[in-house]
Amino acid sequence: MERIYLSREEREALKEIDRAAVDELVEQALRDRCVSSKGLRLDRCGVYVGAKLRAFERTLRDLASAKSAKKYSEIEYWARRAGSDLQFSIDRMKERVEVEEKEMQLFQIDDHVLTPVRLSENLSVYVSYRWRSTINDEWKFGSITFAHDVEIRIDYTIPAPKRKPSTRKQQEDRQEILYREWEHLVQLSLHAVRDFFRQGGDAETIPKTFRVRVDSYGGGLNNFSAQFWPP
């Protein structure tokens, strides 16, 4: 599950990256048609950078196996695009490190939410946090529990099975639906608390519990379901 913060290791790895060295790496990789990033250790920079690095590596392999000049030219374009995407991902994540470290001086949210062994339709997510008005103040601690009652609905767009599923299969399907809903609730809850602090909200006004608001149209969660403060 995606967390709202980078890990300490990821932040340190990103801060160590020399942006000019990334540009050199991309240009060298395009010439050699392979990436040698061991010195930069881009693999330590998180999921986003890792995905862009792998995409760049795939296009370079395709470039190396191109059989005709036309095919080479086509793939080279996409390889350069993938290289630019990798460079952009580094820039974006370096900016994220700066933002996170600045924010964490005044508020921190515990984004290590334990996954329940089994779920029911009555979902809840507990989010703890700490905050202070200035970096010289002592930390204060708080928490909020987000509650959500799931209404499992039949998806009529999917053809009904020819045979009725076994009780075990029905239970497994039910748990899968609930876990997806729970993961969505976790992300909404964590982002809601973070956004509240980012907007300068008073932590003393955060409620201890909040029942999320479901979408009036579909009855499910939306981007504003966990917003516990007045719009």
Residue owning tokens 């608390």: 193
Same domain, 38 and 67: yes
Same domain, 62 and 120: no
Mean pLDDT of 198-219: 92
Determine the pLDDT at residue 224.
94
Tokens of 223: 């981007």
Backbone torsions φ then ψ of 25, nearest 5 degrees: -60, -45
Res. 57 pLDDT band, cuts 50 70 90: very high
Same domain, 125 and 37: no
Query: Range with the lowest mean pLDDT among 17-31, 42-56, 163-177, 185-199?
Result: 163-177
Same domain, 131 and 91: no
Res. 154 pLDDT band, cuts 50 70 90: low
| Radius of gyration over every alpha carbon of the chain, rounded to an integer in angstroms | 23
Determine the length of the chain. 231
CA atoms within 13 A on the CB side of 196: 26
Residue owning tokens 């959500």: 148
Same domain, 140 and 50: no
- The 8-class DSSP code of residue 217 comes to T
> Between 39 and 140, whose confidence is greater?
140
Would you say residue 86 lies in a domain?
yes
Res. 94 pLDDT band, cuts 50 70 90: very high
Q: Which domain holds residue 53?
A: 8-103
Would you say residue 218 lies in a domain?
no
Would you say residue 229 lies in a domain?
no
- State how far Cα 20 lies from the chain centre: 27
Number of folded domains in the chain?
2
pTM assigned to the model: 0.85
Same domain, 136 and 80: no
Would you say residue 2 lies in a domain?
no
Closest by alpha carbon to 46, among 16, 74, 13? 13
Domain end position, chosen among 103, 136, 168? 103
Would you say residue 224 lies in a domain?
no
Distance separating alpha carbons of residues 216 and 71, to the nearest angstrom? 51
Same domain, 119 and 199: yes
Same domain, 133 and 192: yes
Same domain, 124 and 196: yes
Same domain, 39 and 80: yes
